[in-house]
Amino acid sequence: MHTTAKSLRHLAIIMDGNGRWAERRGLPRIEGHRAGVQAVRRTIEQCRELEIPHLTLYAFSSENWQRPAAEVSQLMRLLRRFLKERKKDLHKHRIRLKTIGEIERLPREVREDLQAAVAASREYDRGTLILALSYGSRNEIVRAARQFAEKVKSGQADPSELNEETLAAGLDTAGIPDPDLVIRTSGEIRLSNFLLWQASYAELWFTDTLWPDFGKRELTEAVEDFNRRHRRYGKRG
Ligand code: FPP
Structure confidence at residue 176 (pLDDT): 98
CA-CA distance, 58 to 52, in Å (whole number)? 17
Kindly indicate the confidence band of residue 3, based on its pLDDT and cuts at 50, 70 and 90: confident
The 10s digit of each residue's pLDDT in 185-196 is 999 999 999 999
Spacing, Cα 122 to ligand 1 middle (Å): 26
Annotate 192-220 with DSSP letters as a single string. TTSSTTTTTT-EEEE-SS-GGG--HHHHH
Spacing, Cα 66 to ligand 1 middle (Å): 14
The 10s digit of each residue's pLDDT in 5-21 is 779 999 999 999 999 99
Whether the CB of 204 sits within 6 Å of ligand 1: no
Whether 113 sits among the annotated catalytic residues: the reply is no
Average pLDDT over residues 120-130: 96
Q: State the average pLDDT for the chain.
A: 96
Kindly indicate the confidence band of residue 2, based on its pLDDT and cuts at 50, 70 and 90: low
Q: Model-level pTM greater than 0.75?
A: yes
Whether the CB of 36 sits within 6 Å of ligand 1: yes
Q: What domains sit in the chain, N to C, each tagged with a CATH number?
A: 10-136+178-227 (3.40.1180.10)
Q: Residue 61 region, left (φ>0) first, then alpha (ψ -120 to 50), else beta? A: beta
Terminal alpha carbon distance of the chain:
28
Calculate the CA dihedral of residues 193, 198, 199, 202 and round it to 10 degrees: -170
Whether the CB of 192 sits within 6 Å of ligand 1: no
Q: Residue 57 region, left (φ>0) first, then alpha (ψ -120 to 50), else beta? A: beta
Whether 64 sits among the annotated catalytic residues: the reply is yes
